A and B are shown apart, each in its own frame.
Chain A
């Protein structure tokens, strides 16, 4: 279960907006994070750790910069809900273990609404309204459950090692 307030965006939010080009040469994600969505007042003014980005179509389009999901993660984003995600952002965010939620009715959610998200539904706490979510493919979910691609690969390695050990016994 994920809880947080909605920070609302429209369609085609590109990764240049999330973190500008001139920040990418800073030495670490920690140095970049304060500039997350720096030209988007509704984020700068309202975002608090655990909040949920809610957007319309094609969230994260444009540049492949992984710094974009990485600064969101460091800032403590609770989840990203969108009508749809751009491909590279989708992959990068899942790799980092950020919960991505595809919801065809994401546009109906209001800015600053308190949300509660479980496996198959988003609920607005004030109005009680609920919205269905499209479940992630199993393979993607297994990466997310492990906490990202690196943890996933490490678990697979350990599993294989354990199988080898078992077969040796």
Chain B
């Protein structure tokens, strides 16, 4: 079996599983956030007629999409979640502490775990060697009640990445390039397993960016085998031992793709589809109205640090707004203590409370008609952040910071630091 099949088998009653097989698995955690939890609570108490969750320790609730509450409906949603958490005796409830996926990675995820979440970017946790995937609210309600859920064993695609990372180019550029090549449905129902020297060279924060976006090619899981960097990350978070899984000698991958990053240029996803990807050159100089640095894709300390290194001592263009939203409270605090937040604020950024922010259009940063947003988030669907007549462009933190400086789409390799 390959590593994906082995982790799935370990969470089921089967000893051997094969792609295409449908199995019942017991997830280690079942997460829901304020965009999906209320529907799950309704299904749980309503159609499922359930009283208590199977295992309160495994249920995680996060308020992040509409936080701080942006409307009366949002506030009512949050109160419904709080009441459910109290009734069920849930301990893992995060209220205004940041984006669900970032918090899962900071506080819970370990290699070899199986996690389901009522959010499509749950696949991010593969960056630490866990199998994690998004499901809907009914599936999550079923998992809360039964402690198990059915899953189809996916085929796996291996992506071997070689070469040295050029300055100004990062994991975001690679994953945009891969999605452009695979298309928005090229990996539907599959696991994408990243390996090779260039992946080993990536910090954990960028590995998360890679796995975060596999869903944009339709994939069910992203996966990166844990290594010393994973161990350092886990140790810092107080997690030291975990079950380790590796490919058997007869492991099968449906396809093996190879990428060389040494000649990779910064990439941009053009509206309104994430697979509409081009090299930055084509759009350099295009004026934008808003820049957003944040989201579960690129709202980590390292992302803020890159932006600060570009903006240090300079002012952003006065033709645009620049929103910065740390992905979690811990990131916010560290960036405040190290002076990164001060650098960004001095350059003209608006810094927001941790959460989904302008990725989702649930709180601030909403776009008006015909406005253009350049964002470090993961989706550029029509109208996702406001007016259906607005446009969203996706790029790396370096591209967003360089562009904020000039007011137009700018190749970060052209900015002296």
Q: Are A92 and B218 in touch, CB under 8 angstroms?
A: no
Q: Is A76 an interface residue (CB 8 A)?
A: no
Cβ contact of A66, chosen from B136, B189, B381, cutoff 8 A: B136
**On chain B, which size bracket covers the interface?**
35 or more
Number of A-B contacts (CB under 8 A): 119
Q: Is B22 an interface residue (CB 8 A)?
A: yes
Interface string of B21-43 (1 = CB under 8 A from A): 01000000000001110110011
Q: Are B361 and A87 in touch, CB under 8 angstroms?
A: no
Q: Is B347 an interface residue (CB 8 A)?
A: no
Secondary structure of the B contact surface, majority rule: loop
Kindly state the separation between the CA atoms of A96 and B274 in the bound complex, as whole angstroms.
28
Q: Are B136 and A27 in touch, CB under 8 angstroms?
A: no
Q: Are A66 and B218 in touch, CB under 8 angstroms?
A: no
A66 in contact with B138 given A17-B381, A20-B383, A21-B384 (CB within 8 Å): yes
Q: Is B77 an interface residue (CB 8 A)?
A: yes
Of the listed residues A63, A67, A96, the one surrounded by the most CB atoms of chain B closer than 10 A to its CB is A63
Kindly state the separation between the CA atoms of A22 and B71 in the bound complex, as whole angstroms.
10
Nearest neighbor of B137 in chain A, beta-carbon distance = A66
Which stretch from A43-51, A54-62, A119-127, A161-169 is at the chain B interface?
A54-62
Q: Is B322 an interface residue (CB 8 A)?
A: no
Q: Is B415 an interface residue (CB 8 A)?
A: no
Would you list 30 pairs from A and B whose C-beta atoms are within 8 A, ordered by A residue? A12-B273, A14-B381, A16-B383, A20-B361, A21-B360, A26-B73, A27-B73, A39-B383, A61-B184, A61-B185, A63-B35, A63-B119, A63-B379, A64-B36, A64-B118, A64-B134, A66-B36, A66-B136, A69-B136, A84-B188, A86-B185, A86-B218, A87-B220, A88-B120, A88-B136, A139-B150, A149-B139, A149-B142, A150-B47, A150-B142
Which 9 A-B pairs give the minimum distances between C-beta atoms? A66-B136, A92-B136, A58-B185, A39-B388, A25-B73, A64-B120, A64-B134, A66-B137, A16-B381
Given A24-B35, A24-B362, A27-B76, 10 more pairs with CB closer than 8 A = A16-B379, A20-B361, A25-B35, A25-B71, A25-B73, A62-B120, A64-B118, A70-B39, A88-B134, A150-B142
